[in-house]
Amino acid sequence: MSVLRRPRVGHIEFLNCLPIYWGLMRSGTLADVDLTKAPPDVLNDKLVAGELDVAPISLVEFLRHADELLVLKDIAVTSDGPVLSVNLVHKRPLAELSGCRVALGSTSRTGVLLAQLLLAERYGVRPEYVRGEPDLDVLLADADAAVVIGDVALRAMYEGDHDGLTVTDLGSAWKDWTGLPMVFAVWAARRDYATANPGLVKDVHQAFLRSTALARTELDAVVESAVRWEPFDKAILARYYQALEFDLSDRKVAGLREFARRAAAAGAVPALPAGGPTFFADA
């Protein structure tokens, strides 16, 4: 008789992670995990609180809790240039936002810090930041710019610049600024859980790698399924899934470290220890 329980695994219920859900389904992994589907901010909190064992976590939240977590290799939400769904939507040029209000959508952690670093360091502006529900109209009702992520952001990008609004893709902006890819989220296991259950974490990690590989080979089918339900046409979805990259290559890790360095210098997160992040060593 088994005394194991299925690993409690998080899944981002945004369109960006649909290929991963597809892979988890098609690879049969869903039978072996206890999956919680939620927005990224909810998953961040649950992983940090120990209510999940393995989950995607916003890079910023990972950096704040790096001592409790181990990063899984070769899986992340990244882009090497445009990401399409992490956007700063603004009514006036970025360089003219000093003294203006910038509204930060509540579901975003890494996107909002990236926007703040970009505005402060690249454009030298110091707006007033306010938090708000992740609805573009609500955020912009009382602000000159808003940071949005996920399906809301993709919709803004899809509709393009209009009504005096400009959409700045923060993946592109980071690449222009640093020359590096941007890592928006990593997958991490709780260190205590991984120490107690290395075999289970290895299994989950392998399952995620199989899932992302499967999703890549079946991307047309993912798009075919998604287009039936999502308010985006096939061309947009295909472009979106080409922009998003789920690997964590050495260049991506370099991008992660560069973001960590800038974020720590700005006092937003603790410094990443030298040689960090610490990966789950799936020997």
Applying CB under 8 A, the residues found at the interface with its own copies are: 1-6, 18, 21-22, 25-26, 28, 30-32, 222, 225, 227-233
For residues 6 and 101, which CB has a smaller minimum distance to its own copies in the complex? 6
For residues 124 and 160, which CB has a smaller minimum distance to its own copies in the complex? 160
**Measured from the CB of residue 112, what is the shortest distance to its own copies in angstroms?**
28
**Measured from the CB of residue 215, what is the shortest distance to its own copies in angstroms?**
11
For residues 93 and 231, which CB has a smaller minimum distance to its own copies in the complex? 231
- Residue (of 280, 277, 283) closest to 61 by Cα position: 277
Longest dimension (CA), the chain: 66
**Measured from the CB of residue 21, what is the shortest distance to its own copies in angstroms?**
7
**Measured from the CB of residue 153, what is the shortest distance to its own copies in angstroms?**
17
Alpha carbon 39 to its chain centroid, in Å, reads: 10
- Residue (of 39, 43, 58) closest to 8 by Cα position: 43
For residues 25 and 264, which CB has a smaller minimum distance to its own copies in the complex? 25
List of residues 6+ apart from 188 with CB closer than 8 A: 47, 54, 55, 56, 57, 62, 69, 70, 71, 72
Strands (E) in 95-139, as ranges, are 101-105, 128-132
- Name the helix (H) or strand (E) containing 73: strand 69-79
**Measured from the CB of residue 219, what is the shortest distance to its own copies in angstroms?**
13
For residues 15 and 76, which CB has a smaller minimum distance to its own copies in the complex? 15
First to last CA, the chain: 27
Q: Which residue has the tokens 């389904």?
A: 25
Rounded distance between C-alpha atoms, residue 238 and residue 234, angstroms: 6
